[in-house]
A and B are shown apart, each in its own frame.
Chain A
Amino acid sequence: MIEAEAFARRRGGWFKNPVILKELRGRMRGARAFAVLSVYLLLMVGFALLLYVLASASQDVFGFTSGGQIGRTLFTGIIGIQLFLVTFIAPAFTASAISGERERQTYDLLKTTLLPAHSLVIGKLLSALSYVFLLLIAAVPLQSIAFLFGGVTELEVVLAFVILSVTTITLGSTGLYFSAARTRTLSANVTTYSVTLLITVGLPMLIFILIALFSSLLGARQADIAVEVQVLLLYGLLALSATNPLVAAFLTQYWLLNKQSAFVFYETITSTTGIIQVPLISPWIVFSAVYLLIALILVIRTVRRVRRIEN
């Protein structure tokens, strides 16, 4: 009996998950989903054009002739706006996932079925994320226009996509967690956005300020600062990148251009006591590891929450 049940579930797999089927059916019904996608792409194209015009104008003024410069501006601009959009869209899609079931009074019905809590949670997460991924993938061709101008490598496109995806997954999980923890969608939204803003904007700002204060206290010349402190600052910067997709993307690009590596490399530190090589990991790796771990913890806690029988 138990074995047969387990087998049926395994054979069913994720794509037989009734929640995914239902959510996608609902979301893709009618013209809404396609309207949203079209508006999104139109906005992105408009933004890219604007960037192009600005970049070419500045090129005229400063007399640059490098197409690579335009390509890079376009690429970073598009990634930046996508990151911004994902930060707002991903939680919006999941924050109503479970509280919405409560508000429609279908949550209890689902709980009396044999649907396991993890199927409900993963089904909700995957169906919400799949739509955000659709938006991300739809914009890839736009990013690739940057190729036409040169100056951007395939590796950068891939890394940008990884950072965007990880951000989507973790912020989506955050929304889902608060959706289960709060009874109302409104309150779930408010909490989710507060936490998201705190992490993506508040925390980096705080750390930046601390680092700035710290550096000014230490004095102006880098070489005067003790090696230990410099190493600490460097790792602090890396840790900071793990809290924020924008910082991670920026630093990854910085080290990619300066050290030609997107994985492991050495940073040289000069001080009065000599020159040492500090091993570093590219920020996108640290960021992805930390963000995915957070997502995993949030999903597990959401499942526990959903499984619990009310007291």
Chain B
Amino acid sequence: MSEQMPESFEGGVPLSAPEAPIAPAIDESDLIVETRGLVKRYGKLTAVNDLSLSVPRGAIYGFVGPNGAGKTSTMRILTTLMLPTAGQAYVAGYEVTKQPRAVRRVIGYMPDYFGVYDDMKVWEYLDFFAACYEIPESSRPRMIADLLDLVDLSHRRDDMVDKLSRGMKQRLCLARTLVHDPQVLILDEPASGLDPRARVEIRELMVELARMGKTIFFSSHILADVAEICTHIGIVEAGRMVMQGSMESIRRQLSPHREAIVTLLDRLEDAKSALSGVQGVLAVTVLPDEGGRKRLRVTFDGEDALLSAMVQTLAAQGIPVLNFSEQAQDLESVFMKVTKGIVS
């Protein structure tokens, strides 16, 4: 899954994208997944390098990084499949190397491959994993029906698993991670290799699951995919955490100031001095003309109210404004800025 192109979201999503649709407030100090100084070496190669991760309960946490950044390695440690070389990892308070069984009980893991049996029906697949999670036989049929309903596969209940399309397999695998009602879902590139529609479906499912109270920790290389649904982001490169925090704090760190471009018919200097006088405006610079139009760049710090204050100031002085727009900085370019392209 390395040559992934963001088919559906070219150009990335503007920073001013709508807020993540998670209503309940997240307590930033209640961490459900945490690593401290995590290190994983394969021989000479250091895949995970002193990585400290904090995922608050209830978050949709996007773990973003280029190929080979160490995302899968980190997830394999968190899912008790692999031992770290150094450092600690906790899930729901349990140390992964000391209490693997307790950790397995609270996590649902979806690797970056499907892992399906070719000789099984859809419902048998879920039934088998439910049995592996010691779910009593009597409660399985109801639970399987609910899960198939959730991932919209009820009509394929009796089909063989290997006859499903990629998107359906992915949804089935997502359903599999839910059979034991885990608190945390650890999803490795859940949207990779899917067509745009399937991708949207998976993302909607993730949002739905977060609404049901699950914490979602997932990886991706595509920041745009992540930005749309995440409450939290961790950007990792070459095994190191480059930046981590809530979407808000990430946005603020990445671009501390907002920018607006004002296009004028005339009276450039008047506009410049008027805008400089507005509380919160940091700088006003004159841009070169573009097709005979005069332009200013306003750097400011503040809420949307400030934008409207600026418009009002210009209007009050009768300055002929042609266009006034906030400069959208897309996350993808921010991502390129942050990750130095050490790994690719």
Q: Is A309 an interface residue (CB 8 A)?
A: yes
B114 nearest in chain A by CB position: A105
- Contact between B128 and A310, CB atoms less than 8 A apart: no
Asked, given contacts A18-B132, A311-B82, whether A109 binds B115 with beta carbons under 8 Å apart, the answer is yes
Q: Decide yes or no whether B113 CB sits under 8 A from chain A.
A: yes
**A21 is an interface residue with CB less than 8 A from chain B:** yes
Which of A22-30, A77-85, A168-176 is the contact stretch?
A22-30
B97 to chain A, nearest CB (A): 7
Name the CB-closest residue of A to B128. A22
Q: How many Å lie between the Cα of A12 and that of B111 in the bound state?
A: 29
A112 touching B115, Cβ below 8 Å: no
- Chain B proximity of A305: nearest CB distance (Å): 15
Within A104-126, the residues touching B (CB, 8 Å) are 104-106, 108-115
Q: Is A259 an interface residue (CB 8 A)?
A: no
**Residue among A26, A105, A114 making CB contact with B115, cutoff 8 Å:** A105
**Which one of A26, A111, A115, A311 lies within 8 Å of B83 (CB-CB)?**
A311
| Residues on B with beta carbons closer than 8 Å to the beta carbon of A304 | none
Tell me the residues in window 134-187 of chain A with beta carbons closer than 8 Å to chain B beta carbons: none
**Segment at the interface with A among B118-126, B207-215, B229-237, B252-260:** B118-126
Total interface residues on B, CB under 8 Å, equals 32
Task: Scan B93-106; emit 1 where CB is below 8 A from any A CB, else 0.
Answer: 00001001100110
Known interface pairs A109-B111, A111-B81, A112-B81. Does A309 touch B100 (Cβ–Cβ under 8 Å)?
yes
Tell me whether A309 and B124 are in contact (CB under 8 A). no
Q: Which residues of B contact A22 (CB under 8 A)?
A: 117, 120, 124, 128
Name the interface residues of B120-152: CB closer than 8 Å to any CB of A: 120, 124, 128-129, 131-134, 137
Residues of B contacting A217 in the complex (Cβ-Cβ under 8 angstroms) = none
CA distance A105 to B161 in the complex (A): 14
CB distance from B82 to the nearest CB of A (A): 5
* B110 CB, nearest partner CB in chain A, Å: 9
Name the contact of A105 in the complex, choosing from B80, B113, B124, B134 (C-beta under 8 A): B113
Between A21, A22, A105, A109, the greatest number of chain B beta carbons within 10 A of the residue's beta carbon is seen for A109
With A18-B131, A115-B132 in contact, is A108–B81 under 8 Å at CB?
yes
Q: A9 within 8 Å of B by Cβ?
A: yes
- The distance in angstroms between the C-alpha atoms of A310 and B40, with both chains bound, is 12
**With an 8 A cutoff between CB atoms, is A8 at the interface?**
yes
A9 touches B134 (CB 8 A): yes
Q: Considering the complex, which residues of chain B in the window 53-86 have a beta carbon less than 8 Å from any beta carbon of chain A?
A: 76, 79-83
Whether the Cβ atoms of A310 and B81 lie closer than 8 Å is yes
Chain A 94-110 against B: per-residue CB contact (8 Å), 1 yes, 0 no? Answer: 00000000001110111
A113 near B124: Cβ-Cβ < 8 Å: no
The B-contacting residues of A in range 274-311, CB under 8 angstroms, are 309-311
Q: Which residue of A lies closest to B100 (CB)?
A: A309
- Residues of A near B134 (CB, < 8 A) are 5, 8-9, 12, 114
What are the residues of chain B within 8 A of A108 when measuring CB–CB? 76, 79, 81, 109, 111, 115
What B residues does A12 contact at CB under 8 A? 134
- Contact assessment for B82 and A309 in the assembled complex, using a CB-CB cutoff below 8 Å: yes
* Residue among B80, B129, B137 having the largest count of chain A Cβ atoms under 10 Å: B129
A109 contacts B97, CB within 8 Å?
no
Please state if B116 and A21 are interface contacts (CB–CB under 8 Å).
no
Q: How far is the CB of B123 from chain A (nearest CB, A)?
A: 12
Report chain B residues within 8 Å CB of A104: 115-118
- B107: CB under 8 A from chain A? yes
Q: Verify B101–A114 contact, CB threshold 8 A.
A: yes
Quote the shortest CB–CB distance from B219 to chain A (angstroms).
15
Chain A hits for B128, CB < 8 A? 18, 21-22
Is B101 in contact with A109, judged by CB distance below 8 angstroms? no
- Asked whether, in the complex, the Cβ of A26 is within 8 Å of the Cβ of B119, the reply is yes
C-alpha gap A115/B105 in the complex (Å): 11
Q: Does B176 contact A (CB under 8 A)?
A: yes
Starting from the known contacts A109-B109, A309-B82, 6 additional A-B residue pairs (CB-CB under 8 Å) come to A18-B128, A22-B117, A29-B119, A114-B101, A309-B80, A311-B82
List 19 contacting pairs A-B, 8 Å CB cutoff, sorted by A.
A18-B131, A22-B128, A25-B120, A25-B124, A104-B117, A104-B118, A105-B113, A106-B115, A108-B76, A108-B111, A109-B111, A112-B80, A112-B107, A114-B101, A114-B134, A114-B180, A115-B132, A115-B133, A310-B82
Residues of B in contact with A (beta carbons under 8 Å apart): 76, 79-83, 97, 100-101, 104-105, 107, 109, 111, 113-120, 124, 128-129, 131-134, 137, 176, 180
Chain A interfacial positions (CB closer than 8 Å to B): 5, 8-9, 12, 16, 18, 21-22, 25-26, 29, 104-106, 108-115, 309-311
